[in-house]
């Protein structure tokens, strides 16, 4: 029963969170996939000028599905693993759980969720940089193109680097949330709702910051794969890293950091709060 509650609460929380942050995610992906230097303002102005407000929500269906899957699997995987390691879960309270167990459980949840999120991330990133097709038409085009290029394995381009990004980041995500919520409530005396919102927001920002360079490389690899074979720039993760450093320098690895981190706080705050609130409500029945 608890697994069903985890999956349900995680799905709804993930969907709400992604709607809140998708416009900033679109700007982040467009900045990361572009060669040369571009400002957030310039990219946003170009998007609004060429596509209107709808352009900021380009490809939202894929990330809604992806975040629903990611959050539900991530939270369920985290709770299941933490329960096995320590007997604790978010439902029963994690204040007494060892941080090592929290990190391991979060890492396992993040790794497991990439089985679903990798192809959906590939579709999302390509939709967000495509100004010529509608979201639905673009999604069909991308799936057909990748399927023709190699079936299921072609839809998993960037799987390895997605695992590298999401596994430790998810572990840190739950560690920061657990610790900051405990400090907010017991050291600063915050009520439950602000403690959950602030702790969730901090968890989102602090788990994303260390993996921004990995996210840039993942985005470039996944948005490169729809180009004709002779026009592709990247053959491997390491080659993509070398090309990025040669063309854009170290700062190129932090493209899109601004909108990414600004987005991370409200998305994670809302996600954790909605998840916790739904779990409390469902435990009443």
Query: What per-residue confidence (pLDDT) applies to 260?
Result: 86
pLDDT band at 134 (very low <50, low <70, confident <90, very high): low
- Which residues on neighbouring strands pair with residue 93, listed in sequence order? 89
Contact 250, 260 (CB under 8 A): no
Report the distance separating Cα 173 and Cα 133, nearest Å.
Answer: 35
Tokens linked to 215: 């996210």
Instruction: Considering only residues 39 and 83, tell me which one the structure prediction assigns the higher pLDDT.
Output: 83
pLDDT at res. 1: 60
Average pLDDT over residues 121-132: 76
Q: Is the model's pLDDT at 164 over the cut of 90?
A: yes
pLDDT at 108: 95
Q: What whole-number percentage of the chain has pLDDT above 70?
A: 93
Tell me the pTM: 0.83
d(CA 241, CA 254): 12
d(CA 197, CA 179): 13
Who has greater pLDDT, 190 or 92? 190
Q: Which of 128-132, 137-141, 208-212 has the lowest mean pLDDT?
A: 128-132
Whole-number Å distance between alpha carbons of 232 and 144: 18
**pLDDT for position 62:** 64
pLDDT at 174 over 90: yes
The radius of gyration computed from the CA coordinates of the chain, to the nearest angstrom, equals 19
pLDDT of residue 5: 83
pLDDT band of 132, cuts 50, 70, 90: low
What is the mean predicted confidence (pLDDT) over 100-128? 89
Instruction: Report the residue count for the chain.
Output: 285
pLDDT bucket at 136, cuts 50 / 70 / 90: low
Domains and CATH numbers, the chain: 2-282 (1.50.40.10)
Q: How confident is the model over 258-278, as a mean pLDDT?
A: 91
- What is the average pLDDT value for the chain, to the nearest integer? 86
**pLDDT surpassing 80 at residue 20:** no
- For the chain, how are helix, strand and coil distributed in percent, rounded to 5? 80, 0, 20
- Angle between the 61-86 and 135-150 helix axes, to the nearest 10 degrees? 70
DSSP conformation class of 251: G
């Amino acid at each position: 029963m608890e697994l069903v509650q985890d999956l349900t609460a995680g799905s709804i929380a993930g969907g709400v969170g992604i709607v809140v942050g998708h416009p900033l995610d679109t700007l982040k992906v467009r900045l990361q996939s572009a060669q040369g230097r571009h400002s957030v303002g310039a990219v946003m102005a170009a998007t609004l000028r060429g596509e209107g407000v709808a352009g900021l929500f380009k490809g939202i269906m894929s990330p809604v599905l992806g975040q629903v899957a990611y959050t539900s699997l991530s939270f369920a995987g985290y709770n299941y693993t933490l329960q096995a390691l320590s007997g604790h879960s978010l439902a029963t309270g994690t204040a007494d759980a060892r941080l090592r167990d929290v990190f391991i459980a979060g890492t396992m949840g993040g790794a497991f969720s990439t089985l679903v999120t990798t192809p959906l991330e590939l579709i999302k990133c390509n939709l967000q940089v495509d100004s010529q097709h509608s979201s639905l038409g673009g999604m069909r085009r991308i799936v057909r193109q990748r399927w023709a290029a190699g079936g299921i394995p072609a839809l998993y381009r960037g799987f390895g680097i997605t695992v590298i990004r999401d596994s430790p980041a998810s572990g840190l995500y739950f560690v920061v949330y657990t610790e900051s919520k405990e400090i907010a409530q017991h050291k600063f005396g915050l009520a439950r709702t602000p403690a959950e919102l602030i702790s969730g927001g901090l968890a989102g920002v602090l788990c994303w910051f260390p993996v921004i360079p990995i996210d840039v490389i993942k985005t470039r690899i996944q948005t490169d794969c729809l180009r004709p074979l002779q026009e592709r720039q990247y053959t491997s993760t390491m080659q993509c890293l070398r090309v990025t450093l040669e063309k854009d320098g170290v700062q190129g690895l932090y493209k899109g950091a601004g909108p990414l981190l600004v987005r991370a706080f409200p998305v994670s705050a809302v996600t954790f709060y909605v998840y916790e609130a739904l779990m409390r409500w469902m435990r009443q029945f």
